[in-house]
Structure 1
Amino acid sequence: MDFLRPSTLEEALAAKSERPDAVPIMGGTDVMVELNFDKRRPPALIDLTRIAELCEWRREGDAVRLGAGVPYTRIIDELHPHAPALAQASRSVASPQIRNRGTVGGNLGGASPAGESHPPLLATDAVIELASVRGVRRVPAREFYLGLRKTARQDDELITAVLLPRPAGPQQFSKIGTRNAMVIAVANFSLALDAEKRAVGTGLGSVAPTPIRAEEAEEFLAAEFDWDGGAPLAEPVVRRFGELVASVARPIDDQRGTAEYRKHTVGVMARRALDWSVTEYRNGLRGDARCA
Structure 2
Amino acid sequence: MEFLRPASWGEALRAKADHPEAVPVAGGTDLLVELNFGHRRPDAILDLTRVPELAEWSRAPEQLRIGAGLPYARLIDELGGELPGLAAASRTVGSPQIRNRGTVGGNLASASPAGDALPPLLAGGAQVEVASVRGARTIPADEFCTGVKRNALAADELIAAVHCTPATGPEQFAKVGTRNAMVIAVCSFAISLHPARREVGTGIGSAAPTPRRARDAERLLGEELDWDGRGALPDALVSRFGELVAAAADPVDDVRGSAAYRRHALSVLARRTLQRVWHDHSSGRPECA
State the TM-score, normalized to the length of structure 2: 0.97
Deviation at 1:227, TM superposition (A): 1.1
Superimposed CA distance per residue, residues 191-232 of structure 1 (whole angstroms, 9 cap, x where no aligned partner): 001011111110000000100110000000111111112211
Q: Tell me how far apart the structure 1 counterparts of residues 205 and 217 of structure 2 sit (CA, whole Å).
A: 16
Deviation at 1:254, TM superposition (A): 0.9
1:1-292 equivalences under 5 Å are 1-284=1-284, 288=285
Deviation at 1:166, TM superposition (A): 2.0
Deviation at 1:178, TM superposition (A): 1.4
Amino acid at match of 1:131: A
Deviation at 1:142, TM superposition (A): 1.9
Q: Tell me how far apart the structure 2 counterparts of residues 180 and 113 of structure 1 sit (CA, whole Å).
A: 17
Q: Tell me how far apart the structure 2 counterparts of residues 166 and 182 of structure 1 sit (CA, whole Å).
A: 27
Q: Tell me how far apart the structure 2 counterparts of residues 51 and 231 of structure 1 sit (CA, whole Å).
A: 50
Runs of 4+ in 1 over 2 A off after TM superposition: none
What's the secondary structure of 1:174's corresponding residue?
strand
8 Å Cα contact 1:231/1:278 also seen in 2:
no
8 Å Cα contact 2:91/2:181 also seen in 1:
no
**Any unmatched runs of 5+ in structure 2?**
none
8 Å Cα contact 1:64/1:82 also seen in 2:
no
Q: Tell me how far apart the structure 2 counterparts of residues 181 and 39 of structure 1 sit (CA, whole Å).
A: 24
Deviation at 1:81, TM superposition (A): 1.6
**211-220 or 75-84, larger mean C-alpha shift:** 75-84
Q: Tell me how far apart the structure 1 counterparts of residues 267 and 6 of structure 2 sit (CA, whole Å).
A: 45
Q: Tell me how far apart the structure 2 counterparts of residues 102 and 224 of structure 1 sit (CA, whole Å).
A: 39
Superimposed CA distance per residue, residues 101-122 of structure 1 (whole angstroms, 9 cap, x where no aligned partner): 0000000000000000110000
State the TM-score, normalized to the length of structure 1: 0.96
Superimposed CA distance per residue, residues 217-272 of structure 1 (whole angstroms, 9 cap, x where no aligned partner): 00001111111122111101000000000011111111111111111001100000
What's the secondary structure of 1:191's corresponding residue?
strand
Q: Tell me how far apart the structure 1 counterparts of residues 193 and 270 of structure 2 sit (CA, whole Å).
A: 13
Amino acid at match of 1:52: P
Deviation at 1:146, TM superposition (A): 1.6
